[in-house]
Amino acid sequence: MLLSILYVVGITAEAMTGALSAGRQKMDWFGVMLVASATAIGGGTVRDILLGHYPLTWVANPQYLAITCLAGLLTTGIAHWVIKLKGVFIRLDAIGLVAFSIIGTKVAMNMGLHPGICMVSALVTGVFGGLLRDLICRQTPLVLHKELYASVAFGASGLYLALLEMNISELTATIITLIAGYLLRMSAVRFGWRLPAFQLETEGPLH
């Protein structure tokens, strides 16, 4: 229930930021809805395809797709307002990221998969929406360069699994993971924490 609410908050916020990317590419309304939906529910879609977890969430529950399309279209009218509220959206994005990670972990757990795959499932759920957005908008995938993002998804999933392993109730584990993941993500944004980068100057492809 808590996760369902946070999921809807998360996909709405993600859809709105996705729509902004579409606007920077001067896309039409269809493009806006496509990029908004890919950003918001693309991660869960890629996860379900990789795990063979059918039907996809939005195929079984078309209302989620309707929400992301409407949120995207709405953004075309209130874009400057959305941009001004940047700080709010960074917070909503952090909450969504952790909620998506917990949901991704649970999907893989319920399929009886290896804990390592549960954490990969969380990571894909949290990260691949933004990756798809950047692929469609032909931008350098931000998630591969910027502050801790994938790491938060991965770490939140590991924490959640560890808490359940300690026989802590699902609700408590969810709340602890949400708080810890949110704080980690917001600290990473504030202090610019990032993973080390691998920079290779040598020219010439190996292949």
Q: Alpha-carbon dihedral of residues 135, 141, 142, 146, nearest 10 degrees?
A: 160
Told to check if 114 binds a second copy by CB under 8 A, we report yes
Told to check if 97 binds a second copy by CB under 8 A, we report no
**Among positions 2, 5, 49, 171, the unique one binding a second copy when judged by CB under 8 A:** 49
Told to check if 20 binds a second copy by CB under 8 A, we report yes
Told to check if 135 binds a second copy by CB under 8 A, we report yes
Told to check if 202 binds a second copy by CB under 8 A, we report yes
**Among positions 9, 74, 144, 168, the unique one binding a second copy when judged by CB under 8 A:** 144
* Residue type (1 letter), 130: G
**Among positions 5, 165, 171, 194, the unique one binding a second copy when judged by CB under 8 A:** 194
Please state, in angstroms and rounded to a whole number, the distance separating the CA atoms of residues 95 and 138. 26
Candidate ranges 1-9, 143-151, 157-165, 176-184; the one touching a second copy (CB under 8 A): 143-151
C-alpha angle 123/8/147, rounded to 5°?
40
Candidate ranges 3-11, 53-61, 155-163, 177-185; the one touching a second copy (CB under 8 A): 53-61
96: left (phi over 0), alpha (psi -120 to 50) or beta: alpha
Q: Which residues contact 72 (CB under 8 A, 6 or more apart)?
A: 15, 16, 18, 19, 22, 32, 33, 35, 36, 37
> Smaller CB distance to a second copy: residue 1 or 207?
207
**CA distances (Å), 183 to each of 141, 176, 177, in order?**
24, 11, 10
Told to check if 57 binds a second copy by CB under 8 A, we report no
Total site size for a second copy, rule CB under 8 A:
69
